[in-house]
Amino acid sequence: MHDRSVVQVKVSKNYRINQPTVAGLSSEGVSIVTVTNRPAFMFNVYNNYLRQTYRPRELIIILNNNSMPIKHWQKQALPHESIKIFQLDEKVSLGECYNYAVTQANYGYIAKFDDDDYYAAEFISTGMRTFARFNAHIVGKCCRYIYFKGSSILALHEPSPEHSYVDYVPGATMIIKKEVFEKVRFPDLNAGEDNEFQEECLRQGFLIYSSDRFNYVTIRRPDKNTHTFKLDDETYMGYCKELIPIEDFRPLITRAE
C-alpha cells in the first residue's frame, strides 16, 4: 500500500478555486469528494455539488485519468465557490485517491459522491441531521432508489434497513466523520474498497447508520459495461420492487426531512 507521501508526489496538477478563508471553516462543514476517470460526467459532478443546500461545504474532485484535461475542469469551476481539483496518476488506486482527498479536506465530515448518480438538494442536509440525532460515525442509505434510464423505470432496491444501525451502506451514499480516518483508511484497491473500509471501521468500533431512501438515486445506463456492477437491467430489476415508469423521478425521491 502506498503511504500518503508517495501519493502526494504523484499529484501532477493542483488547483484551488475560491477557497474559503480560515475564518469560514467549521468542523460541521462537509467536504464532498468525487473521484472520476470519465470526462463525460463533468457536469453531473458539478451539478450534484452546486445543488446542495447545506453550508458550509466544499467540493474536492480527483481526476484519475491522465488524458483528462484538468484545465477544462478548472474553467467550468471558476464561477463557483469552494472547489478544489487535483489530478492523480491513473495508476493510483481508487482507494488511495479517496485517501488523498481526505488529506485535502477542510471540514469535519467527508461525503462520497459518485460521478454518475443523482444527489438531491437536501442529501447533505438530511444526512447531517441524522448525525445530530444518532450516535454514528458513518451515515448512508441501505435502502435506495435505482433509475433505469433505458426503460425510464424508477425502482426501490430490495428491501433494506432504514433508520437503523447496520454493517454496511453503499459507498456512494456515505458521509463519514473525518475523525474516522485517524484510525482507518481506504484500502489500496480499485474495487471493493468501500466494503473493506467499512469492515475495518466496524472492527475499530465505529458505528454505521442507515437513514431513509430519499434524496439519492443510483443511475443505471443501458450499457452494463459502463458500470462496475455489471448486471443487465432485467436481472437487476429482479432485486427491486415498486417498479414505476416515470420520466422525471425527482418529485418522488426528494424529501426535505
- Per-residue pLDDT reduced to its tens digit, 129-169: 999 999 999 999 999 999 999 899 999 987 789 999 999 99
- At 231 the pLDDT is 72
Percent of the chain that is helix, strand, coil (3-state, to 5): 30, 25, 45
CB 120 within 8 Å of CB 50: no
Phi, psi (deg, nearest 5) at residue 113: -110, 125
- At 15 the pLDDT is 40
Give the best-scoring range by mean pLDDT among 80-84, 138-142, 188-192. Answer: 138-142
Q: What's the longest Cα–Cα distance across the chain?
A: 52
More confident residue, 191 or 19: 191
Topology given in CATH for the domain delimited by 4-253: Spore Coat Polysaccharide Biosynthesis Protein SpsA; Chain A (3.90.550)
Mean pLDDT (whole number) for 229-247: 81
pLDDT of 208 above 70: yes
Using the structure block, give the residue that is written with the C-alpha cell 483528462: 68
Question: Of 106-110, 171-175, 176-180, 233-237, which range is least confident?
Answer: 233-237
CA–CA distance, 116 with 221 (Å, rounded to integer): 9
Mean pLDDT (whole number) for 99-103: 98
Alpha helices by DSSP H, 182-224: 193-203
Phi, psi (deg, nearest 5) at residue 43: -65, -35
At 175, is the pLDDT very low, low, confident or very high (cuts 50, 70, 90)?
A: very high
The amino acid present at 207, given as its one-letter code, is L
Q: Which residues pair with 155 in a beta bridge?
A: 146
Alpha helices by DSSP H, 78-209: 94-103, 123-133, 193-203
CA–CA distance, 38 with 63 (Å, rounded to integer): 8
Q: How many CB atoms lie within 10 A of CB 187?
A: 20
- At 13 the pLDDT is 45
Question: Of 18-22, 69-73, 111-115, 184-188, which range is least confident?
Answer: 18-22
**b/e for 34-48, b at 16 or more Cβ within 10 A?**
bbbbeeebbebbbeb
